[in-house]
Chain A
Amino acid sequence: MNEAIKKNSSFSAGSPNDENAAKVEKSPPAKTPAAAVPPVRDGAGKPLVLGFSLGLFLALLTLWFAPMLREWMFAVLPESQFALQLRTTDIKRLQKDALRLEKRVSSLRKKYEQLTPRVPYLIVNTSENRIRVMKGNDVIHEGVCSTGSYVLLRSAEQQRQWMFFTPRGMFQIRGKREYPVWKKPDWAFVEEGLPIPSPNAPERFEYGVLGEYALELGDGYLIHGTLYTRMLGMPVTHGCVRLGDEDLRIVYKNLQFGSKVFIY
């Protein structure tokens, strides 16, 4: 019996002796201790399990590389369509169409180019903290600036929070001020660990910290000067655009009420 079991085991491991194995399976169960050995697996079990396991792995690989395989298929497969020249037999019509299309493209191009402002405008790059004063496609002046720090300030009780970022998009100059006075908002006190005063308390007003000029962009955002010139070129502000004295003078001189400011 033991020998028979051995034979059967060797079948499942790849023995060609199928007939013997079949005989063993048909024989009645033995009462010897060897019968306690679990029944020997069917001959199909092992290849099935191994095949499925490997197949599953291959299927996952196929799924993973499917976009690449599709791309290869597109490269290999012949193009099913007709070449461009076969669209029409009427050459005159084709030439007319081409001329009309050329005019249309040229007018669209002009329309698009006219969107660039002819009067001076400002471009602020918050990623590299740089500015460019432009007129049409010409650069009038380039300089450094400081923009929003992306600090999220949470008050001690965590009931209030402020996000210090410079908004992106197109803005317009809504006001110009000389020797501006800064009316400190609540976060300025929270940031310094001071109690928040009433809205018009005298300690809210600070002179000289915004430089010689300020240009309003709306929603409390300003383009202004700074006392901390060594910080220029870094993202350190509470959302305003800070400039050095010389840059601020040029920006103030060139940008008028309504001038466009593009921030990205």
Chain B
Amino acid sequence: MAVVARVARPFRFLRQNRQAQIIFFLALFIFPGIIFLFTVVLPVAHNPFEASAEDEVAENIEALPDSTPPDIITGRQELAKKMAALEIDQAFFQARVQLSKSDSISLAVDLLDSVLSLEVKGLAMRRCKILRFRSSGLAKRLRSQGRLHQWLAAPFVLQKELATLPKSPIRIKEAPKDTIEANESKGEDLPIEHRDAEFTLQFDRNLTLVVEQAQAPSFSGRLRQLWYDWRRSFDTALDAVVALLHKELPQHRMWIEIEISREDAKAVYRALPQQAKLALRL
């Protein structure tokens, strides 16, 4: 109680002074209000995934008349759903065929079959079972608009990454001065790496892929994970600030969170080159 009273003491003026109340609440809400408007309301209203007004009109013109019997509507709905699924499949395979023309290692994430594969030249070198996944509500919206395939049509390009493990476990070794020193260093034990593997890949076209390991992290891994989570949020907030400073609205990212085994996560993260490409099916 004493703590509450102590915290509340500076706010005693709010009890009866009307003018002070007005000033306080105005000052309190002006900054959060502006931030809320520019980082939440306006980005939602102008998100790049939402169809434009012209699209709505175009689709509306072709709308069925009100007198259409319900069974015909259901039949068409089924057909349209099938078409949408086929368009997504087409986009996925098109992207993979396109990726196979390049020499670099790429990623194919198939959320419908729960498989993540590491590919080069069209060969899946490693297939990883996706144990669990979650995705942004935006994906659902985009799917219901029948426009998901447009977004998936070309491969995504990696722009930024953040991980709990280093990309290459480099160890620096100074050359021995003579053979005696060289023989001494031969007896040194090899460090065995037991790192937890979690990483975030930010692709172009506002896609973020978050990969988590299925196994519970160790204590040190948990600390690293805390730092990683903090960095991720900080980077997002910083991006928003930078966008606002450039008189642009921060864009909402379509995120996908997947869970795979630690070994898979490690192998995938280490194998991905800079500007790796991704084919996605969801």
Contacts and interface: CB of A to CB of B under 8 A. Distances in A.
Contacts of B41: 73
Contact of B146 (A84, A89, A126, A168): A84
B77 A85 contact: yes
A250 interface: no
B137 A71 contact: yes
A117 to B, nearest CB: 7
A169 B125 CA distance: 10
Contacts of B223: none
Interface in A124-144: 125-128
B128 to A, nearest CB: 12
A8 interface: no
A246 interface: no
B205 interface: no
A209 interface: no
A166 to B, nearest CB: 11
A63 B26 contact: no
A73 B59 contact: no
A74 B20 contact: no
A40 B63 CA distance: 71
Interface residues of A, number: 90
B26 A51 contact: yes
Contacts of A192: 176, 179, 182
A71 B28 CA distance: 25
A111 interface: yes
A168 B169 CA distance: 15
Interface residues of B, number: 107
A69 B39 CA distance: 9
A236 B190 contact: yes
B60 A82 contact: yes
Given A58-B28, A94-B83, A194-B179, A153 B123 contact: no
A156 B173 CA distance: 10
A205 interface: no
Contact of A63 (B136, B170, B240): B240
A104 B92 CA distance: 12
A260 B25 CA distance: 69
A262 B124 CA distance: 10
A220 interface: no
Given A66-B40, A84-B144, A125-B126, 11 more contacts: A49-B27, A63-B39, A112-B96, A125-B125, A149-B190, A150-B169, A155-B175, A170-B120, A191-B175, A191-B182, A194-B182
6 contacts: A46-B20, A47-B24, A89-B62, A125-B126, A193-B181, A236-B190
User: Top 4 closest A-B pairs, CB basis?
Assistant: A51-B27, A115-B122, A14-B13, A47-B24
Interface of A: 12-16, 18, 43-44, 46-52, 54-56, 58-59, 61-64, 66-67, 69-71, 73-75, 77, 79-89, 91, 94-95, 97-98, 101-102, 104-105, 108-109, 111-112, 115-117, 121, 123, 125-128, 149-156, 163, 165, 168-170, 190-194, 234-236, 260, 262, 264
